[in-house]
Structure 1
Amino acid sequence: MSTIPTTAVAIEPLSISDRLSLVWRIPLLVIRCAANFASFCLSNGEIARLDWRQKLAHAYLRASRVTLTRKQQAQQRKLLTGPRIQGYCHRYNLEHRAVSVNNDTLYKKRDIPTPVLHFVKNPTTQPDGPTIFYLHGGGYHNPIKEQGHIPLALQFAAACKAKQVVFLEYSLSPEQQYPCQLIQAVAGLRYLLEQEAVQAENIVLVGDSAGGHLTASLLTHIVHPSPYAPPIDLRGRQLKAVLLVSPWMAMSEEQIKVLPRAPNDFLTRESIVRFSNMFKPGLNEVWSNRCDMHDAVAVWKKLFPTSHEHAICRKAMLAVGTSEVLLDSCVSFALECMGCETIYVNGQSDLRLVKEADFVLAIAPGEAHVQPGMDCALGYHDGKMMKAISTFLEAC
């Protein structure tokens, strides 16, 4: 089934000088990548204990950030999320169905592009398994990464024996800004509940990075409907699970300013500022920002009350690495808003604790922003964060 793009993105083509610049930057990229890799291997810190493939991914992404120009990096936006998912499924012979979530009244009122849901099944699909609703990261600016996000979501599906993974193809910034993506996420979840007849207790809601923020925004809308989209009625039921992987929860200038310098993370405070300026979140709105508003506190207490007995989901996990620039904001969010139990994931005994906990903050020593996505891109599935997430999902 064909899809329609959720938004057109403006990509300035590379000029001849840009292309010539790229030619001489490639050897520099290789040199910097090698230097970074050697530095990680010789380090006395937690990053030295990572697998060599994890170090290589760290080294390459850091080298790319400082070597390639902004225009050269922007070329990755040429192919949007839909074609990437379609191409991946065709390449690996996966069953794929795309559905445009039509709601002309809602979209025309705010000039919102129609979102697309991508239903993907793999050979390990279980007919009676849950549905993973996946919201990908990328700073709200970049499309899904076909060798990172897609295999990562399929790994999650295998862990919880999911029936299917449903990817939301949402619009990107700066072409479309807040609250566009929230409206599209609400439409997507309502479609699963109402048109696909998926029960809330069979939904695992997953988001990484900006997708983690979008997941939190969607949860907030469920218990405290925004003025931007229709309410979502779970009919008194709980979601099966919520998983946030390195969620981007620092939105305001003040929140970003206090983020620590993280020399071993490829994501930087400067990048976060740039993404925020393009996304333009509603900083005084509970659906967009963890602001210090009285109703914000009340909303999160509704989502994850102290006893967790009446939480919006049966189980929840926030996973983050110690090398992340977002570490402190993630830890604060997990402890203060979700009431999670903290587990540092070092070995099998820690994984047993993860399996037993219903609301858990899993901290992976040495790992960086959305480390499992980088791991999947290199075919590595034994990282600490990945193992913690898989253990959590297996117990769902």
Structure 2
Amino acid sequence: MSHTRTTLSLLERLDLVFSMLKTIATAMVTLLGVSFRGPDGHPKPMKHVIHTALRIMNARISATQIQNMSASTDEAYTAFAKTKGFKPTSIKLPEDAMAHWIGSPDAERILVVFHGGGFVYPATTQFQFLYDVQKETGPETAGIVLSYSLAPGKHYPHQLKQSIALLSYLVNDAGKNPENIILAGDSAGANLILSVLSHMLHPHPDGSIPPLNTVAPFKGAVLVSPWVNFTPNAPSYMRNRKKDMVNQYILTSQPGTAAAKWWQGIETKVRDIVVTAGENEVMFDDTYKFSETLKRSFPTLQAQFIKGETHDQLFMDPVVGEKIPSGSAKLIKSWVAAKL
């Protein structure tokens, strides 16, 4: 499970109130001056205001405070199922993990989602994404979301163990064909997918993580705004600091630091890979560099860098109230639907 509601001390509660007040005050001041944001700010005025406020909030609040305010992945799933009128279907996995189905567990084609959130936020809009894909692709497709443990309660590589547990269950216990399974992850979730593929190629030195051997490669991997480098030194951190909602304060496995040789043989683990990133992301340069490195071992990699988009826009737009589908949303949904 992702987390249980944390209990805050009096000091933590007062600090949280101060953080919320500071966030609101920042939003109000930014709104007053939004016409003077210049080319360094977000092109859309309201997104400039919202992203500025989110940067302030994320720089101030702790993981404990985040998890006190947020419904867990398990709670969010139950609420989503009630909203959509379907019966929740969940499975308990080893390593204290849960996984939640959208669509029939008996479906032949499976989309596995590893949610983002810096390993401290639970899943949110990923359920709607899966619901939309499942409805579009029909009853022979189902989605499943891994509810992994969040930091600081559990630290990496525990989340990798939980990811392996889910995929091992699907392939070895549920009898799913890897060639009918697509792995999709955003931000930290994309990091987890890369960690899984890395573990399949080079078993993790922590001997407590079992191997994951499949008779065939997975059908595909979708990496949305992948978090590939934990060191915020790339020039895009400065270039896009006033456009993106992410900053260096909210960013162990670092796929972006691995050489091309590390990924040799990855085509035996997954058939197709697509990477998307917004050109206004602070992590853009790291993602671009990583995709170029991965291409040397996986020449068929599809990398789509979308002008004007910020971090994880596919899943963040619904959070900030954006109704018009982004370019990345259209691209990823069509790519997944075509593969399924």
TM-score class, shorter: 0.7 to 0.9
Q: CA deviation at 1:374?
A: 2.0
SS at match of 1:99: strand
107, 114, 118: which one aligns with 2:96:
114
**Alpha-carbon distance in 1 for matches of 2:308, 2:202:** 37
- 1:151 is matched by which residue type in structure 2? Q
121, 144, 163: which one aligns with 2:141:
163
Q: CA deviation at 1:370?
A: 0.3
SS at match of 2:144: strand
Change (3 A) 1:239 1:291: closer
Q: Name stretches of at least 5 consecutive residues in structure 2 with no aligned partner.
A: none
Q: CA deviation at 1:246?
A: 0.4
Q: CA deviation at 1:101?
A: 0.9
Written as runs of structure 1 = structure 2, the 5 A alignment for 1:42-57 is 47-48=42-43, 56-57=46-47
Aligned partners of 2:30 and 2:49 also within 8 Å: yes
**Alpha-carbon distance in 2 for matches of 1:39, 1:152:** 35
Partner of 1:325: 282
**Alpha-carbon distance in 1 for matches of 2:50, 2:154:** 30
Count of residues in Structure 1 that have an aligned counterpart in Structure 2: 329
Written as runs of structure 1 = structure 2, the 5 A alignment for 1:164-243 is 164-226=142-204, 227-235=207-215, 237-243=216-222
SS at match of 2:102: strand
Partner of 2:254: 289
SS at match of 2:150: coil
Cα deviation 1:129-181 (Å, max 9, x = unaligned)? 62111100111111112xx2222333444555572111111111122111100
Partner of 1:364: 306
218, 226, 244: which one aligns with 1:247:
226
Aligned partners of 2:3 and 2:67 also within 8 Å: no
Partner of 2:80: 88
**Alpha-carbon distance in 1 for matches of 2:197, 2:168:** 12
Partner of 2:60: 70
TM-score by length of 2: 0.84
Task: Check if 1:12 corresponds to 2:4.
Answer: no
Change (3 A) 1:174 1:21: closer
**Alpha-carbon distance in 2 for matches of 1:198, 1:36:** 54
Q: CA deviation at 1:95?
A: 3.7
**Alpha-carbon distance in 2 for matches of 1:36, 1:152:** 34
**Alpha-carbon distance in 2 for matches of 1:200, 1:130:** 9
**Alpha-carbon distance in 1 for matches of 2:39, 2:17:** 39
Partner of 2:28: 31
Partner of 1:110: none
Aligned partners of 1:22 and 1:68 also within 8 Å: no
- 1:369 is matched by which residue type in structure 2? H
Q: Name stretches of at least 5 consecutive residues in structure 1 with no aligned partner.
A: 103-112, 273-280, 282-287, 304-309, 342-356
Aligned partners of 1:320 and 1:363 also within 8 Å: yes
Q: CA deviation at 1:8?
A: 4.7
- 2:25 is matched by which residue type in structure 1? L
**Alpha-carbon distance in 2 for matches of 1:170, 1:264:** 30
Task: Check if 1:142 corresponds to 2:121.
Answer: yes
**Alpha-carbon distance in 1 for matches of 2:16, 2:41:** 38
Change (3 A) 1:74 1:38: farther
Partner of 1:275: none
Task: Check if 1:257 corresponds to 2:204.
Answer: no
TM-score by length of 1: 0.73
**Alpha-carbon distance in 1 for matches of 2:4, 2:195:** 24
SS at match of 1:244: strand
**Alpha-carbon distance in 1 for matches of 2:189, 2:270:** 18
